[in-house]
Amino acid sequence: MWHEATVIETEALFRIADAAENAGDHDLARRSFERCAALGDTGALVRLAYIHDEGIGVPVDKSLAMRLYQRAWRRDKDAAAANNIAILYRDKGRFRAMFRWFRRTAEAGDGGGHLDMAKCYLDGSGVRKNLQLALRHLAVAAGSDDITEYEREQAQALLKTLAPRSV
């Protein structure tokens, strides 16, 4: 019974927070995401981290955002959290750490993570250049169900330009 009530409460808080954010009431959104995250909702924790990451209604606080994203990762292996951790490391110029977190994103089943890994292999960012591994990750990304249409188009375009031509 308690668990069911908590789920209903977290769903309601998340909807309130999401609606408040869309309406521009960033203070209510932040407070609602905080309460929802405290009840164990990982999605709310990621959204709260993003608020601090981007400074939406609060001062930008990248270190707090990193801690919140890491908590979301530890809690549920959340791919969005892993992806945002990778981006924070990229912004700091820590490319090896960035690559490790993109790999976690991909391992969590995120097609965009495979695209990011492919780009790392193509550029040699955080890892040695490796065309074969880049092609492999591009193929996974292009066939993934968990990828945006824009990312899929990027993966397909890269595959088209990089794939060996048959004679």
Residue 163 has a pLDDT of 74
Band the pLDDT of 3: cuts 50, 70, 90. Answer: low
Given 76, 104, 128, the domain boundary residue is: 76
- 3 and 50, same domain (yes or no): yes
| CATH number of the domain within which 10 lies | 1.25.40
- Would you say residue 145 lies in a domain? yes
pLDDT band, very low/low/confident/very high, at 166 (cuts 50, 70, 90): very low
> What per-residue confidence (pLDDT) applies to 145?
95
82 in a structural domain? no
User: Are 72 and 109 in a shared domain?
Assistant: no
Query: pTM of the prediction?
Result: 0.89
The rounded distance, in Å, linking the Cα atoms of 143 and 139 is: 6
Tens of pLDDT, residues 23-57: 999 999 999 999 999 999 999 999 999 999 999 99
Is residue 158 very low, low, confident or very high in pLDDT (cuts 50, 70, 90)? very high
SS3 158: helix
Please say which residue of 76, 105, 120 terminates a domain: 76
Task: Return the number of other C-beta atoms located less than 10 Å from residue 23's C-beta.
Answer: 10
Interval 94-143: pLDDT, tens: 999 999 999 999 999 999 999 999 999 999 999 999 999 999 999 999 99
The model's confidence at residue 93, banded by pLDDT at 50, 70 and 90, is very high
Same domain for 39 and 106?
no
Same domain, 60 and 102: no
CA distances for 41 relative to 11, 29, 84, 119, 148, angstroms: 9, 14, 17, 32, 23
Q: Is residue 105 part of a domain?
A: yes
> Containing domain of residue 129, as a range?
95-167
Residue 167's pLDDT band, with cuts at 50, 70 and 90, is very low
Residues 70 and 101 in one domain: no
Q: Looking at the 3D structure of the chain, how many domains does it have?
A: 2
Q: What is the pLDDT of residue 7?
A: 80
Mean pLDDT of 146-150: 96
Do 110 and 50 share a structural domain? Answer: no
Give me the mean pLDDT over the 76-104 stretch.
Answer: 97
pLDDT band, very low/low/confident/very high, at 165 (cuts 50, 70, 90): low
Whether residues 16 and 49 fall in one domain: yes
Residue 24 φ then ψ, to 5°? 90, 5
Give the number of residues written for the chain.
Answer: 167
